[in-house]
Structure 1
Amino acid sequence: MSAQGPVLILVGPPGSGKSTVGRLAADQLGVAFRDFDHDVEEAHGLPAGELVVQLGREKFQESERELLSAMLPRFTGVLALGGGTPTAPGVPELLEPFHVVFLDVDLEHLLRREGLVPLHPWLLPNPRAHLKELLNTRRPVYTQVAAATVPTSGRRPEEVLADVLATLPDTSD
């Protein structure tokens, strides 16, 4: 584990609970919380979804990688990455020194998450098909970059939090 950088990084699809569980974990650990999508929006003045449309996927992912590369050595709290961030070229390598947890959620629970589609308009016109494809293509990447996978489907944030915290390495040595 790296001496500098986040104590915990959460990855997973939109709606998996990264921000909710991330805030709870940060509170429990007594550290700061950051939502990487917010950092991207702050850096560019546009929400990530609009930025993808404006820049194109390749340029957007380059921007994400650069921003993440600059942030990782300086931020020592809990970081929730954007759903697509781990899929950007070079990002899996950036994540290697850190403790990453994949918050896994099934399609049916994602579809029931209130407000998911309005927040991610690129899911339209067929949210089920888009989310199914997203899960199928991203799940192997999430699994690759994560030290642990914690299921979130049908579970309360506090239950997920307990499992996430249990994956943290013991630093009492």
Structure 2
Amino acid sequence: MGVGKTTVGQVLAERLGTTFRDTDTDIVTAAGKEISEIFIDEGEPHFRELERQAVRTAVAEHPGVLALGGGAVLDEDTRALLSGRPVVFLEMGVAAAVKRTGLDAPRPLLAVNPRQRWRELMEQRRPLYTEVARAVVSTEDRTPDDVADAVLDVLELKNA
């Protein structure tokens, strides 16, 4: 959360001469409401099902750069779908997360004790992120352009 997936993804798409798509945006568009409202109105399980469908559709339809929501890897089928693809895990520590988001943004999973909950989520998700990722790139103390450079380097697309 707050790592810069959307911003970096847009920079990468521009540099690669392709399009960008964000599955969180797809979910909001399809549901007609913000993710925080989906969590409140229908609950997390319903949101996760929408997320599974959005990722499945996006991977099948979109040939460009794709940003997935931070919890998408919780689904085993999604992890299998991502296997072998050029997935990059953008990471940062809690101090950087606080600096970037203040951990007070409308993020339903961080509603109570955001710093502790962020750490718990990362402990749960980090092994799943690294399972599907071809590479890990830190976003700490880097501009989106610097992160995009690092992603292109680790995917060996620098001269693409």
Which residue of structure 1 lines up, in the alignment, with residue 5 of structure 2? 18
How far the C-alpha of 1:169 sits from its partner, in A, is 4.8
Q: Letter of the 2:48 partner, please give it.
A: Q
Which residue of structure 2 lines up, in the alignment, with residue 86 of structure 1? 73
How far the C-alpha of 1:115 sits from its partner, in A, is 5.7
Q: Letter of the 2:61 partner, please give it.
A: R
Q: Letter of the 1:46 partner, please give it.
A: K
Provide closer, same or farther for how the CA distance between residues 126 and 136 of structure 1 changes in structure 2, counting only shifts above 3 A. Answer: same
Which residue of structure 2 lines up, in the alignment, with residue 51 of structure 1? 38
User: Among 62, 71, 79, which residue is 2:49 paired with?
Assistant: 62
Q: Letter of the 2:122 partner, please give it.
A: L
How far the C-alpha of 1:72 sits from its partner, in A, is 1.1
Unmatched 5+ residue regions in structure 2?
A: none
Counterpart check, 1:146 vs 2:130:
no
How far the C-alpha of 1:62 sits from its partner, in A, is 2.0
Q: Which has the higher contact order (CA 8 A, sep 6+)?
A: 1
Which residue of structure 1 lines up, in the alignment, with residue 89 of structure 2? 102
Unmatched 5+ residue regions in structure 1?
A: 1-13
Q: Which moved more, 1:57-66 or 1:135-144?
A: 57-66
Provide closer, same or farther for how the CA distance between residues 67 and 114 of structure 1 changes in structure 2, counting only shifts above 3 A. Answer: closer
> Percent sequence identity over matched residues?
39
Q: Once the two structures are superposed, what CA deviation does each residue of 1:131-171 show, in whole Å capped at 9, x if it has no partner?
A: 1111111111111110000011121211111110112256x
User: Among 128, 147, 156, which residue is 1:160 paired with?
Assistant: 147
Cα-Cα RMSD: 1.8
Q: Letter of the 2:29 partner, please give it.
A: E
TM-score, normalised relative to structure 2 = 0.89
Distance 2:102 2:115 in 1: 14
Indicate conservation of the 8 Å contact 2:39/2:108, yes or no.
no
Secondary structure class of the residue paired with 1:102:
strand
How far the C-alpha of 1:116 sits from its partner, in A, is 4.7
Provide closer, same or farther for how the CA distance between residues 162 and 52 of structure 1 changes in structure 2, counting only shifts above 3 A. Answer: same
Between structures 1 and 2, the one with greater helix share = 2
Count how many residue pairs are aligned between Structure 1 and Structure 2: 158
Which residue of structure 1 lines up, in the alignment, with residue 100 of structure 2? 113
Which residue of structure 1 lines up, in the alignment, with residue 29 of structure 2? 42
Distance 1:117 1:40 in 2: 22
Runs of 4+ displaced beyond 4 Å: none
Q: Letter of the 1:84 partner, please give it.
A: G
Q: Letter of the 2:139 partner, please give it.
A: T
Distance 1:121 1:55 in 2: 12
Q: Letter of the 2:93 partner, please give it.
A: D
